[in-house]
Amino acid sequence: MKHKISMFGWLLALTLGGCSYNDIEYEEVKEGVSFKKDIVPIFETNCVSCHKENGMAFSLTSDMAYDKLKSKDLVTKENSILLEKVKAGHPRGNALNENQLKKIELWIKEGALEN
């Protein structure tokens, strides 16, 4: 019995010791964020399930996202409602990771251009 408990302890230690929740590598975001290359994919992955044409909220689909953000004054260099919302954990249940937040923040700091 003592041998089985010891063996179980070793197996448990080996199993848990091999697990790591920090294996996700994020690319370093420094400058030159492109709306089409960097921001639109974030919207497509995380936002368009609700933010689609005829959806629950205004559309963030690739062909409408920029115009909607600008027309609703959601992204300006001085005040970004978009950045405030995503930093507060929106979308609920699928919050953006730190790399995605940094891309959005840098894109806004660079002038929120449609590039």
Q: What is the pLDDT of residue 87?
A: 92
H/E run at residue 58: none
Query: 20 or 65: which carries more pLDDT confidence?
Result: 65
Structure confidence by residue, pLDDT tens digits, 81-108: 999 999 999 988 878 999 999 999 999 9
Distance of CA 53 to the CA centre of its chain: 21
**Residue 7: pLDDT over 70:** no
pLDDT for 23-57, tens place per residue?
434 456 667 899 999 999 999 999 998 888 887 78
What is the token pair recorded at 31? 């400058």
Both structure tokens of 20: 């790591």
Burial label for 80, CB within 10 Å (0-12, 13-18, 19+), is buried
- Contact between 113 and 40 (Cβ < 8 Å): no
Tell me the domain boundaries of the chain.
31-109
- Report yes or no: 77 and 112 within 8 Å, Cβ to Cβ: yes
